[in-house]
Structure 1
Amino acid sequence: MSYTPDAPGAGSDAPNLDFAGTTPYEDYVQADILTHLQHPRSDDPGEMVFLVTTQVMELWFTVIVHEWETASRALREDRTKAAIDALGRSARELEALNASWQPLARLTPAQFNAYRGALGEGSGFQSAMYRRMEFLLGEKSASMLVPHRGAPRVHAELEKALQQPSLYDEVLRLLARRGLPVPDAVLGRDLALRYEPVPEVEEIWTGIYGDPDGNAELVRLGEALTDVAELVWRWRNDHLVATRRAMGSKTGTGGSAGVAWLEKRATKNVFPELWTARSHV
């Protein structure tokens, strides 16, 4: 995509610059809408950086959810390569998402306090799209629907996501269809509850990784999931560090426990048996 066309009349290969209405680029990207969604509530110039960065994060959440839902659907249809491809794209998108912390990563307490009051009770844990990411990772919690009761469409989407299989649930169902001994209790578990690791699943991954030649496709799937899990862990840690620098151990916006809550989140591994199985290979 070119952003630097030659001047009009520069030659027969010059792009068309004359349109009756808005440009095709604007029609497709809707840049005018995107660049006018920022409405700072303070006079501090740093708030614009915080607001745009947060909005960029929401866009990355959206595309990552799209990739993981694509991967989940592919797994249900036994299209493992398509699922691995979607997970691979999401890993690159997670890298870009994590880089979004950089504009905020060096905030001093005074700089953050200059516009923190503009957030009111707003907090990142209220993000519906981030909640959908967490649900797809198996981090289910019905209580996290409560903040969205006043937005019927959003609440309905989250409630549907809560009841659906997570990405990892679809992986385990695929393993079962491949003849691996995934326990019935795991396959039939309440999908609205957080996934908890079980020894039998750890043993399955140990066996897969112990015979990479005989399980080449499943090893590739496991590694694609591990890439995602590692980047999610890095996201949580980057969030923790940025928050610790900006506000120390003060109560978070929206009444959360702030750093203490983020520290607890940072200790949790996504797709846990993929990590513990490595000790037994």
Structure 2
Amino acid sequence: MLAPATARVPVGGPGPAVDSARSRGSASGVTSLTYGQYLRLGELLTLQRPLSRPEHHDELLFIVQHQTSELWFKLVLRELGTVCACLAEDRPRPAFKAVARVKTVLHSLTDQWAVLATLTPADYAGFRGDLGTSSGFQSYQYRALEFALGAKDRRAMERAEADPLARELLADALKRPSVYDEFLRFLARRGHDVPAEVLDRDVTDSYRFTPPLLPVLRTIYERTEEHWEEYEACEELVDLEDSFRLWRFRHLQTVERIIGTKPGTGGSDGVGYLRAAVDRRFFPELFAVRAELG
């Protein structure tokens, strides 16, 4: 918890309110900055603006749920960038730490669905029409998160054409190697015989299951003492995917509980789309190799 009174201003400065407070600070760098100024609560707490008229009691819950999810997505995207950078620099330990943070955030996001599940079908019906064509299906940060994990889809770029921020974020995520790409390159630099078709692939394409990779992973799992860090990296990614799938599954359950099999507001298939998403794998060989062990 942040202290409610005095705080030390972080490098880079969080914005105008903090800049103003800094100008009144002492030579030591300690200012009269308040909790509200540091977090810019005056601005933050005005961003929940229900559209229903008269305002439906439960629309605020719906907005807060989705806004907080987007804030967590922002953090997850940065941490996945750290994972990629550390693996590219052959520094697996800091990468593992960043993965651990992402897993913890995903657990928090999974638990958060329980709050939205307090919304009954009748509650949601009271303001659903005010959402228009907006939908969580359109979350460009979520799409960028999928891109960072290797599930890339250029059609998401087309849907983002009208939003410059979305287009910029997705274009950057599309051209970057995914977490799995960097992991496999890391294995190759450690002397593992990773297939050239994987190392030289077009990273703007979605990753596809590559059977020749299975013997490489089998060796790591069968000789863990020789390849402990690589083995640990494998298991960290398995944990990461498990955490992500749990979040997706809880999302599916919550949507099914509230709207059943109705289509989503943005034109998606609703529950059908979410159910298919639960079964998609980011790191397919890490799960397939388990059938070959022992």
Which residue is 1:36 aligned to?
A: 46
**Higher alpha-carbon deviation: 144-153 or 44-53:** 144-153
Q: What CA distance in whole angstroms lies between the structure 1 residues aligned with 2:172 and 2:2?
A: 41
CA RMSD of aligned residues (A): 1.8
Deviation of residue 193 (structure 1)? 1.3
Partner of 2:17: none
Q: What secondary structure does 1:139 align onto? A: coil
Match of 1:49 among 61, 86, 91: 61
Q: Which runs of 5+ in 2 are unaligned?
A: 6-20, 25-30
1:200 to 202, 207, 212: 212
Q: Which residue of 2 aligns with 1:128?
A: 140
Paired amino acid for 2:288: T
Q: Which amino acid aligns with 2:162?
A: G
Work out whether residues 184 and 194 of structure 2, in 8 Å CA contact, stay in contact via their aligned partners in 1: yes
Deviation at residue 4 of structure 1 after TM alignment: 7.7
- The higher relative CO (CA closer than 8 Å, separation ≥ 6) is in 1
Does the 8 Å contact 2:90/2:186 carry over to 1?
A: yes
User: Is structure 2 residue 111 aligned with structure 1 residue 99?
Assistant: yes
Aligned partner of 1:256 in structure 2 is: 268
CA contact (8 A) 2:76 2:105 kept: yes
Which position in structure 2 is the counterpart of 1:71? 83
Counterpart position of 1:240: 252
Q: Secondary structure at the match of 2:167?
A: helix
**Following the alignment from structure 2 to structure 1, what is the Cα–Cα distance between the partners of residues 285 and 118?**
35
Q: Deviations over 1:68-101 (max 9, x none)?
A: 0001001111111111111111111111111121
Q: Which residue of 2 aligns with 1:11?
A: none
Aligned equivalents of 1:78, 1:28: Cα separation in 2: 36
Q: How many pairs are equivalent?
A: 268
Gaps of 5+ in 1: 6-18
Q: In structure 1, which of residues 186, 206, 221 is the aligned counterpart of residue 233 of structure 2?
A: 221
Matching residue of 1:159: 171
Deviations 1:187-222 (A, max 9, x none): 111211111111122222221111111111111111
1:275 paired residue among 263, 287, 290: 287
Secondary structure of 1:102's aligned partner: helix
Q: CA deviation at 1:50?
A: 0.6
Q: Find the aligned partners of 2:196 and 2:45 in 1 and give their Cα distance.
A: 50
Contact 1:106–1:245 (Cα < 8 Å) also in 2: no
Say yes or no: does 1:169 pair with 2:190: no
Specify the SS of the correspondent of 2:116.
coil
Tell me whether 168-177 or 25-34 shows the greater mean CA deviation.
Answer: 25-34
Deviates more, 1:89-98 or 1:55-64: 89-98
What do residues 17-54 of structure 1 show as CA deviations (whole Å, max 9, x unaligned)? xx879843233222222211100011211110010010
Among 18, 32, 37, the alignment partner of 1:27 is 37
Equivalent pairs: percent with the same residue? Answer: 37
Partners of 1:56 and 1:100 within 8 A in 2: no
Superposed counterparts of 1:105-124, under 5 Å: 105-124=117-136
Q: Give the aligned residue type for 2:171.
A: E
1:144 to 2:160 alignment? no
